[in-house]
Structure 1
Amino acid sequence: MKKRVDVAAGVITRADGSFLLGQRAPNTFYPGYWEFPGGKVEAGETAEQALIRELDEELGICVTSIRPWVTREHRYEHAHVRLHFFEVTSWDGEINDHVHSALSWEHADRPGVGPMLPANGPILKALRLPRRMGITHAVDIGTEAQLTRLEAALERGLRLIQVREPGMPRDELASFAGAVIRRAREYGALVVINQDSGLARKLGADGVHLPATELGRTAARPAFEWVGASCHCRAELERAAELGLDYALLGAVRPTLTHPDREALGWRAFADLVRDLPIPVLALGGLVEADMDSARSAGAHGIAAIRGAWLQS
């Protein structure tokens, strides 16, 4: 059995959303393949400390902002690697590479280099997942009001919508969800339908979102490009990862009107629950745009909201 090697990798990101990739040099494993910069975690180091050291040694930069993100495992022919990915959004110094054959700034939706190192490939899709999800509540505020707020949110940059309307008659739901999808398409936004895979297929939605109650009953990942799930505990998060889902929602971080009697997690418990998961997690529960930094510092990919998503900022 191969010994597991812990590696820290950095998603070094600029303000325009581009991230840095390095091409592996000759005389290394997988020469010519592209990867996220980083390196092996040495004895006595945390993964975060290792990445800060590696980026100094490899690129000559001093990291000033680093956030935990996802952790993935991959079995190569020469090693079993556990990759701890961190997001690096600010640093001091000019990037001056010392180990790669080349560097390139790329965008997840249109990468211009390849092939990717196998362990790094799935990260590109995770980087395509928008940072904010708006969850509809037309049953509470009316369909016209919801569509008006949706259009305003799309104008402000919202790019991920979950249609979730418990209690809405199916014919009405189909009409409403279709209207949401049409508006979202104009902005290149993704739409997932809560629970109803048949309706999602019929309307050509981008995916489906599973309630937590469905996770235990789901034997295989539904056949959509984007599939996520609502989770409330570590076991549910691990089940979502086992199914190969693209994301999970975890909450409630704060008390909510939807579930006023449910005890809120708080950011510390949220961070503990999402630590070392292989899929991105969106924080949910009483959150607004101003909570984004707190969420990402706790290891969240971003935030999801029902009421907060439609507030004017």
Structure 2
Amino acid sequence: MRIAVVGCGAMGSVYAARLAAAGGYDVQVVDAWADHVAAINADGLRLVGPDGEHRATVRAHTAPPADPVDLVVLAVKAADAASAAAQATPLVGPATTVLTIQNGLGSAEGVADALGADRLAVGIASGFGASLRGPGLAHHNAMRALRFGAYAGLDPTAVECVAAAWRAGGFDAAAVEDIAAMQWEKLICNVAYSAPCALTGLTVGEVMDHEHMGPVSRAAATEAWKAARALGVGIDVPDPVEHVRAFGAQMPAAKPSALLDVEAGRVSEIDVINGAVPREAAKVGRTAPVNATLTALVRAREARL
């Protein structure tokens, strides 16, 4: 299988390095950071984590080559997914599957518009912590679950083929029928921590029982849970607070990506995380004031960066 990872940031680097190391996959990456691309082409893509350091041989480009592949993986930020999809068209042939993996809700729609809904798979990554330490060098401190599902009309065998590639790369990966339910189950966790951590600088473990932010965090999760149920999404979450507690207990020292973005002076993905809840709730005549307020506060903070 020929695979092109578009967006070789922290998570894209983890995916590309592990897939290349699995054997049997011809992996290339596309990223706008010229120094990163040059380092990968010169010395390989290095990945450091709990299982040691590995170096993978992949080809790197600053722009997509006109050379269709079997699988295009869009590993960019949610706000960049639609534009990355449009730029990736030289990599897409008649039989190409496209996989988009972003936080939150809403980015897949733009990818489907650009490249076609029937070729699109949606991925959910949970329990991951990754960062770029320099050109050609990525670090990860956890690699838990990846789940994949069809966005619309993609053949289930194509989704399973994607999951098989990730399993070969050492990931806990599986194809699922109801990807929307899994997106919401993750979103409930994300809204509990993303905005509260971004606003306070607290870690995941510090937020839940914090005197002031704990009630806000729990309210954000409960509000998202109620929205999902009102929308008829088949989530398997009897108690949203217990759900997010179990999630947070797995990585108490972690900083959500929204906090990392704020600390780095970048605009976060808060619009597709906490911001997604009021948008989705409005579809069924509901409001989500906790998540709407948290989103507005993060946006205000970002405006000062």
Structures share a fold, TM > 0.5?
Answer: no
Specify the structure having the higher radius of gyration (Cα). Answer: 1
Give the structure with the larger helix fraction. Answer: 2
Query: TM-score of the superposition, structure 1-length normalised?
Result: 0.29
Give the structure with the larger strand fraction. Answer: 1
